[in-house]
């Protein structure tokens, strides 16, 4: 029996996991990072468009600060987020990007003098300030008031991930790749590590640690069409659910991105629209201004995706063998801009569709359709990143629901969150590992290891003749068709029933190769039931939530209902034999908000059921402001909402021209 | 996928072997499938895996040419499989072998992570500086052109194709390859990094480094990111010669 001990165990080697591991190493802890794939191949590498941080370097970002980033994030979330966490995030984001700059991320920098950009289909020229020369540049993104999304061409995630991974190597973080965590070791409500399957030889290993961090990314691959890498199956999230103790939050909150390319589903970054690209229909008509006069193509993703489907339903889609789609036109940005700032987009369009988007006119238009993109839901944790119900279990990044994004996340806020939460949660995690002594015995560990060996043997002994891949495909189709962009009660009920039936069927399969070693068929056989459990959490959560909020849109309940639904969906899987999750809710208190619920400024205006407490809190805030008189924005902020950050992270951020104001 | 009788059949022949299994012997296996429009080797292999052979091993992650996982030898050339379209091959016959120069795991799967991590550590592939960064302060300005130049070289995705195309690597297992030399060039032009040419000489000033390269250009010809590898290797060599 192989048992490996360490101080701090991080499962997941994307931006969130690696940055957390750095925090742990910097405290002198022995730290192991486990990853299904070489860490630099983690899905973070695929992030294209950029990272949000309110640096306010560019003229187009002038006046930006934490407050505006905060307001954008809260509106984006449709008031579903934890505003305390949003505050922690916006205050740390500028520090995160500056740390990354010092670690060598070659952020695009501001040049001298004139800069020409495309805004609303027209070329505009402006001058950058001299004192901003050489500082980090930013582009426009959806749902933001200022240009705040910093970038390295359209390979932002790649350069960030390489810098962070190299810093982890520098610190001798021990990286074990091709290792998959398949269950959590715990007793008495405390987590002691994970059971891991070595994906090279199939060996099961117990990794035991004082503290365990799950940073395994999203669960997008439960959908048929997704921009996510094929490893984004949510296994890390599922094994937390399977403890029966730890909780998941808002699993029905799934984001659909407006512009993956058809049919492969490979993403074309929001930077395409941020830089001035437009959406067109079968007549070549730019339709978004009709729906969203103010933000047009740059309303939040949930809104743009729905408007696109709405337009297709009116018969305006372009017919293709893969169903209807719309066009994304970036040719108006000019070849030079595309070849410099949207180079991967061009490469993708040429390699996979034979289209050069820099070609002028319809020839260069790229076929796009909204598809699954991001998992707002995940492992429910406190603002410190520790599970609400299991000690010693932490989570950060896309895997976690701490809850920054509520029901919709803004583009560029996610790689930013991954690094920021790695800094904040990583620090709390490191403190925990530092102060905690390992308190378990080998019989507990061996018991968990034994259980997993027996489980895998049981799977190999199934002899029902079904193919696990067919079950997986059916799950993905159900999610696509019934738990998609537009949802309704009948479809969701059907989805829950069918998914539940599928989960039962996973015991009626036959795995051809009976090897416990390297056996890709067996991999799917134990992963699919886990994916189905997550699918059930999302479907059942969506069925019960009889309102529309952010990315969760119910055609039978089209209004956001602040009277009844200002709450977080909490899901658990109480018994291993259960075939459905259990759901309860966590209230979100308006009276504790810095920014009480209101209209977002985009989307439908008439679709709100207001809660009278919003007005009450608004009045209270007004009163507090009055009492304070003329004070700086930090004093007001503090009076409205209290939040903590470890160490120097709470310090004020300096900006060009305004210092620390 | 649309059904259409005009679609042709293609034959994909895959090298099968599990070195960890004593009973396994190296062999080729051929799968026949219908080619659909826009089919890539990713789509084809996933189809083979899910419909014909659950035991087939390969490494895809992003399936978009971004993560560098899926390098393999396609009809004799090392390439990213996910970016290879099947209609490129006129006779419809495609032979796939695992990427050489790395430890073979099974079938088309190889271990690149450990080699790349060891290379990154050996070349100290991170910023070296004495300066302390105060994260609250405005970042250090960088000339936009310099930032773009660094970015250009930072685009390497550690796919390993340059090593699989390299004659030196076959003779010297410890040769850091174009991937490694490009990495040092990247840090040497990064204004945040204070290392001198002497420092870099310690890392690559030998036959496993910049003097091992025979300028055969295999790396640059095959690099999927079109990195200017020969120019950068020559640039580092000129610098290192001066140190000597
Ligand atoms: C195509 C695309 C483009 C995007 N572009 C942007 C953008 O421009 N801006 C932005 O802000 N966000 C973007 N995002 C979102 C963003 O990239 C991700 O949300 C973020 O990178 C997630 O980071 P992470 O560290 O949480 O997880 P990941 O980077 O997904 O890392 C997960 C890690 O966990 C490991 N892992 C998973 N399961 C297990 C297991 N069971 N056992 C062991 N290891 C496991 C994996 O190997 C991997 O190392 C984009 C996403 C996509 C899909
Ligand atoms: S230099 Fe090119 S071929 Fe070599 S690893 Fe990097 S991207 Fe791949
Ligand atoms: S799978 Fe990522 S490059 Fe091919």
A567 Cβ contact list (under 8 Å, min separation 6) = A585, A586, A587, A588
Tell me: pLDDT of B170 over 50: yes
* CB atoms B62 and A99 under 8 Å: no
Helices (H), A62-218: 66-76, 83-102, 156-170
Distance B225 CA to ligand 2 centre (A): 7
Tell me: pLDDT of B9 over 80: yes
Q: A499 in ligand 1 pocket by Cβ < 6 Å?
A: no
Task: Give the pLDDT confidence score for residue A478 in this predicted structure.
Answer: 97
Task: Give the pLDDT confidence score for residue A119 in this predicted structure.
Answer: 87
The residue whose CA is least distant from atom 3 of ligand 3 is B65
Q: How many residues does chain B have?
A: 244
Quote the tokens at residue B177: 């390859």
Ligand nearest to the CA of A161: 1
Alpha-carbon span A380 to A399, nearest angstrom: 9
All residues of chain B having their beta carbon less than 8 Å from the beta carbon of residue A321 are 1-2, 37
SS3 A495: helix
Alpha-carbon span A532 to A233, nearest angstrom: 10
ipTM for the whole complex: 0.97
Alpha-carbon span A34 to A45, nearest angstrom: 17
Q: B158 in ligand 2 pocket by Cβ < 6 Å?
A: yes
Q: Which atom of ligand 2 is nearest to the CA of B182?
A: 1
Distance B190 CA to ligand 3 centre (A): 27
* CB atoms B51 and A469 under 8 Å: yes
Q: Which atom of ligand 2 is nearest to the CA of B161?
A: 3
Which residue in the set A101, A229, A652 is minimally distant from B136, CB to CB?
A652
* CB atoms B135 and A351 under 8 Å: no
All residues of chain A having their beta carbon less than 8 Å from the beta carbon of residue B113 are 37-41, 175, 177-178
Q: B237 in ligand 2 pocket by Cβ < 6 Å?
A: no
Ligand nearest to the CA of A231: 1
Q: Which of A9, A142, A216, A348 to probe ligand 1 with, by most ligand atoms within 8 A of CB?
A: A216
Mutual orientation of helices A156-170 and A413-435 as an angle, nearest 10°?
Answer: 20
Q: Which of B65, B112, B222, B223 to probe ligand 3 with, by most ligand atoms within 8 A of CB?
A: B65
Q: B220 in ligand 2 pocket by Cβ < 6 Å?
A: no
Distance B157 CA to ligand 2 centre (A): 6
Question: CA quadruple B56, B58, B60, B64: dihedral positive or negative?
Answer: negative
Alpha-carbon span A514 to A522, nearest angstrom: 8
Which is it for strands A254-257 and A122-127: parallel, antiparallel or unpaired?
unpaired
Which residue in the set A170, A178, A654 is minimally distant from B113, CB to CB?
A178
Q: Is A423 on the interface with B (CB under 8 A)?
A: no
All residues of chain B having their beta carbon less than 8 Å from the beta carbon of residue A231 are 61
Quote the tokens at residue A474: 């059916």
All residues of chain B having their beta carbon less than 8 Å from the beta carbon of residue A267 are 64
Residue B40 near residue B65, CB atoms below 8 Å: no
Locus of tokens 């087939």: B56
Dihedral pair phi/psi, residue A361, rounded to 5°: 75, -170
SS3 A181: strand
Q: Which atom of ligand 3 is nearest to the CA of B81?
A: 4
Q: B39 in ligand 2 pocket by Cβ < 6 Å?
A: no
**Torsion, CA B175, CA B177, CA B179, CA B182, rounded to 10:** 100
Q: Which atom of ligand 3 is nearest to the CA of B157?
A: 3
* CB atoms B62 and A229 under 8 Å: yes
Radius of gyration, alpha carbons of chain A: 24
How many other CB atoms are there within 10 angstroms of residue A631's CB atom?
A: 12
Interface test with B, best of A93, A107, A162 (most B CBs within 10 A): A162
In sequence order, what are the beta bridge partners of B110?
Answer: B104
Alpha-carbon span B91 to B22, nearest angstrom: 36
Which residue in the set B61, B63, B190 is minimally distant from A37, CB to CB?
B61
Q: Mean pLDDT throughout B139-164? A: 97
Alpha-carbon span A405 to A373, nearest angstrom: 14
pTM of the model: 0.96
**Which run of H or of E encompasses B85?**
none
Give how far A159 is from chain B: nearest CA, Å. Answer: 7
Q: How far is CA A122 from the centre of its chain?
A: 32
Name the nearest CA neighbour of A117 among A147, A92, A93: A147
Tell me: pLDDT of B71 over 90: yes
pLDDT single digits (tens) A312-341: 999 999 998 888 999 999 999 999 999 988
Give how far B215 is from chain A: nearest CA, Å. Answer: 27
Q: Is A352 on the interface with B (CB under 8 A)?
A: yes
Percent helix, strand and coil across chain B, each to the nearest 5: 35, 15, 45
Q: Is A64 on the interface with B (CB under 8 A)?
A: no
Task: Give the pLDDT confidence score for residue A114 in this predicted structure.
Answer: 86
Query: Which residues of A are designated catalytic?
Result: 257, 273
* CB atoms B105 and A46 under 8 Å: no
CB pairs under 8 A between A and B: 208
Dihedral pair phi/psi, residue A118, rounded to 5°: -105, 120
Q: What does the H/E/C string look like for A606-620?
A: CCEECCHHHHHHHHH
The residue whose CA is least distant from atom 27 of ligand 1 is A217
**Which run of H or of E encompasses B170?**
helix B167-171
Residue A264 near residue A352, CB atoms below 8 Å: yes
Locus of tokens 């140190």: B243
Which residue in the set A175, A353, A521 is minimally distant from B55, CB to CB?
A521
Closest chain A residue by Cα to residue B138: A654
Alpha-carbon span A612 to A617, nearest angstrom: 9
Residues of chain A with pLDDT under 50: none
Share of chain B above pLDDT 90, in %: 91
Task: Give the pLDDT confidence score for residue B100 in this predicted structure.
Answer: 95
Alpha-carbon span A628 to A53, nearest angstrom: 29
* CB atoms B151 and A648 under 8 Å: no
Q: Mean pLDDT throughout B189-207? A: 96
Q: Is A162 on the interface with B (CB under 8 A)?
A: yes
Alpha-carbon span A149 to A593, nearest angstrom: 26
All residues of chain B having their beta carbon less than 8 Å from the beta carbon of residue A178 are 105, 111, 113
Alpha-carbon span A261 to A268, nearest angstrom: 6
Name the nearest CA neighbour of A578 among A242, A266, A285, A302: A242
Beta strands in A215-324 (DSSP E): 248-249, 254-257, 278-280
Tell me: pLDDT of B2 over 70: no
pLDDT band at B1 (very low <50, low <70, confident <90, very high): very low
Ligand nearest to the CA of B162: 2
CA distances from B164 to A342, B154, B221 (A): 29, 20, 12
Between residues 262 and 281 of chain A, which touch chain B (CB distance below 8 Å)? Answer: 263-264, 266-267
pLDDT single digits (tens) B133-142: 999 999 999 9
In sequence order, what are the beta bridge partners of A179?
Answer: A198
Q: Mean pLDDT throughout B73-96? A: 96
Residue A547 near residue A502, CB atoms below 8 Å: no
Residue A608 near residue A599, CB atoms below 8 Å: yes
Name the nearest CA neighbour of A509 among A559, A459, A473, A550: A459
Which is it for strands A400-401 and A393-395: parallel, antiparallel or unpaired?
unpaired
Which residue in the set A101, A169, A344 is minimally distant from B66, CB to CB?
A344
Mean pLDDT across chain B, nearest whole number? 94
* CB atoms B139 and A102 under 8 Å: yes
Alpha-carbon span B25 to A608, nearest angstrom: 66
Residues with CB under 6 Å of ligand 3 are B 60-63, 65-70, 80, 82
Alpha-carbon span B103 to B120, nearest angstrom: 17
Between residues 206 and 245 of chain A, which touch chain B (CB distance below 8 Å)? Answer: 229-231
Q: Which atom of ligand 3 is nearest to the CA of B82?
A: 4
A105 Cβ contact list (under 8 Å, min separation 6) = A152, A159, A160, A163
Residue A109 near residue A138, CB atoms below 8 Å: no
A188 Cβ contact list (under 8 Å, min separation 6) = none
Give how far A617 is from chain B: nearest CA, Å. Answer: 32
Q: How far is CA A512 from the centre of its chain?
A: 36
Segment A557-564 long-range contacts (CB within 8 Å, at least 24 positions apart) = A558/A604, A558/A607, A559/A607, A559/A608, A559/A609, A560/A78, A560/A79, A560/A607, A560/A608, A560/A609, A561/A609, A562/A79, A562/A590, A562/A597, A562/A608, A562/A609, A562/A610, A562/A611, A562/A614, A563/A609, A563/A610, A563/A611, A564/A609
Q: Mean pLDDT throughout B67-90? A: 96
pLDDT single digits (tens) A357-402: 999 999 999 999 999 999 999 999 999 999 999 999 999 999 999 9
* CB atoms A38 and B136 under 8 Å: no
Task: Give the pLDDT confidence score for residue A367 in this predicted structure.
Answer: 95
Between residues 597 and 656 of chain A, which touch chain B (CB distance below 8 Å)? Answer: 648-649, 651-656
Q: Which of B43, B62, B72, B222 to probe ligand 3 with, by most ligand atoms within 8 A of CB?
A: B62
């Amino acid at each position: 029996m192989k048992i490996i001990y360490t101080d701090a165990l991080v499962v997941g080697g994307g931006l969130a996991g690696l940055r957390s591991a750095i925090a742990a190493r910097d405290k002198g802890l022995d730290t192991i990072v486990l990853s299904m794939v070489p860490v630099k191949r983690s899905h973070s590498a695929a992030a294209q468009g950029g990272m949000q941080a309110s640096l306010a370097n560019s003229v187009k970002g002038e006046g930006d600060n934490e407050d505006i980033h905060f307001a954008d994030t809260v509106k984006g979330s449709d008031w579903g987020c934890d505003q305390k966490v949003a505050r922690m995030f916006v205050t740390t984001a500028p520090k995160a990007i500056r740390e990354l700059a010092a670690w060598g991320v070659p952020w695009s920098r501001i040049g001298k003098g004139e800069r020409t950009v495309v805004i609303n289909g027209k070329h505009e020229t402006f001058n950058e300030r001299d004192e901003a020369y050489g500082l980090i540049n930013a582009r426009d993104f959806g749902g933001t008031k200022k240009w705040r999304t910093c970038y390295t061409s359209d390979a932002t995630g790649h350069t960030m991930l390489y810098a962070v991974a190299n810093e982890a190597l520098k610190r001798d973080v021990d990286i074990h790749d091709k290792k998959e965590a398949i269950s959590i070791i715990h007793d008495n409500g405390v987590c002691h590590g994970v059971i891991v399957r070595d994906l090279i030889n199939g060996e099961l290993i117990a990794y035991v640690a004082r503290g365990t961090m799950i940073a395994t990314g999203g669960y997008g691959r439960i959908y048929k069409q997704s921009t996510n890498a094929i490893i984004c199956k949510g296994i890390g999230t599922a094994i937390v659910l399977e403890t029966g103790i730890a909780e998941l939050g808002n699993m029905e909150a799934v984001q659909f991105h407006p512009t993956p390319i058809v049919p492969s589903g490979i993403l074309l970054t929001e930077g395409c629209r941020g830089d001035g690209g437009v959406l067109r229909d079968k007549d070549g008509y730019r339709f978004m201004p009709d729906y969203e006069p103010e933000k047009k193509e740059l309303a939040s993703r949930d809104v743009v995706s729905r408007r696109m489907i709405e337009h297709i339903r009116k018969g305006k889609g372009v017919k293709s063998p893969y169903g209807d789609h719309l066009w994304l036109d970036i040719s108006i940005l000019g070849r030079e801009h595309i070849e410099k700032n949207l180079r991967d987009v061009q490469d993708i369009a040429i390699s996979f569709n034979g289209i050069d988007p820099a070609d002028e006119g319809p020839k260069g238009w790229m076929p796009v359709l909204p598809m699954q993109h991001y998992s707002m839901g995940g492992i429910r944790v406190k603002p410190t990143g520790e599970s609400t119900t299991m000690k010693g279990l932490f989570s950060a990044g896309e895997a976690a629901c701490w809850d920054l994004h509520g029901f919709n996340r803004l583009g560029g806020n996610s790689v930013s969150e991954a690094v920021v939460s790695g800094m904040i949660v990583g620090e709390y995690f490191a403190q925990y590992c530092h102060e905690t002594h390992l308190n378990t015995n080998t019989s507990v560990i061996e018991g968990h290891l034994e259980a997993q060996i027996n489980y895998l043997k049981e799977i190999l002994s199934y002899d029902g003749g079904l193919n696990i891949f067919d079950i997986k495909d059916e799950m993905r189709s159900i999610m696509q068709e019934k738990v998609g962009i537009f949802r309704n009660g009948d479809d969701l009920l059907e989805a829950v029933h069918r998914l539940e039936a599928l989960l039962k069927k996973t015991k009626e399969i036959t795995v051809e190769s009976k090897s416990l070693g390297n056996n890709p068929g067996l991999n799917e056989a134990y992963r699919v039931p886990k994916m189905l459990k997550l699918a059930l959490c999302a479907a059942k959560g969506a069925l019960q939530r009889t309102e529309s909020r952010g990315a969760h849109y119910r055609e039978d309940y089209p209004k956001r209902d602040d009277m009844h639904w200002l709450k977080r969906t909490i899901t658990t899987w109480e018994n291993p034999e259960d075939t459905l999750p259990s759901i309860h809710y966590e209230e979100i208190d308006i009276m504790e908000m810095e920014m009480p619920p209101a209209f977002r400024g985009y989307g439908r205006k008439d679709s709100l059921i207001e809660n009278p407490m919003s007005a009450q809190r608004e009045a209270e805030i007004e009163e507090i402001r009055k009492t304070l008189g003329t004070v700086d924005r930090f004093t007001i902020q503090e009076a409205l909402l209290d939040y903590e950050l470890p160490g120097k992270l709470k310090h004020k951020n300096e900006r060009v021209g305004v210092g620390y104001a | 996928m649309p059904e259409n009788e005009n679609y042709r059949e293609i034959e994909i022949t895959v090298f099968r072997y599990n070195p960890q299994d004593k009973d396994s012997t190296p062999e080729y296996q051929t799968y026949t499938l219908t080619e659909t429009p826009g089919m890539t080797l990713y789509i084809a292999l996933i189809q083979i895996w899910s419909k014909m052979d659950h035991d087939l091993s390969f490494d895809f992650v992003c399936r978009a040419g971004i993560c560098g996982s899926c390098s393999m030898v396609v009809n004799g050339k090392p390439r990213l499989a996910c970016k290879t379209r099947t209609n490129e091959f006129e006779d419809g016959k495609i032979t796939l072998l695992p990427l050489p120069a790395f430890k073979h795991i099974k079938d088309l799967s190889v271990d690149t992570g450990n080699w790349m991590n060891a290379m990154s550590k050996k070349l100290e592939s991170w910023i070296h500086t004495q300066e302390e960064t105060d994260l609250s302060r405005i970042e250090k300005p960088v000339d936009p052109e310099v930032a773009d130049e660094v970015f250009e070289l930072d685009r390497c995705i550690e796919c390993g194709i340059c090593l699989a195309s390299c004659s030196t690597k076959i003779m010297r297992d410890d040769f850091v390859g174009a991937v490694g030399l490009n990495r040092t060039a990247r840090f040497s032009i990064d204004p945040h990094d204070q290392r001198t040419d002497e420092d870099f000489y310690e890392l690559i000033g030998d036959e496993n480094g910049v003097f091992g390269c025979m300028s055969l250009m295999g790396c640059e010809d095959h690099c999927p990111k079109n990195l200017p590898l020969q120019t950068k290797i020559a640039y580092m060599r000129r610098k290192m010669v001066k140190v000597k």
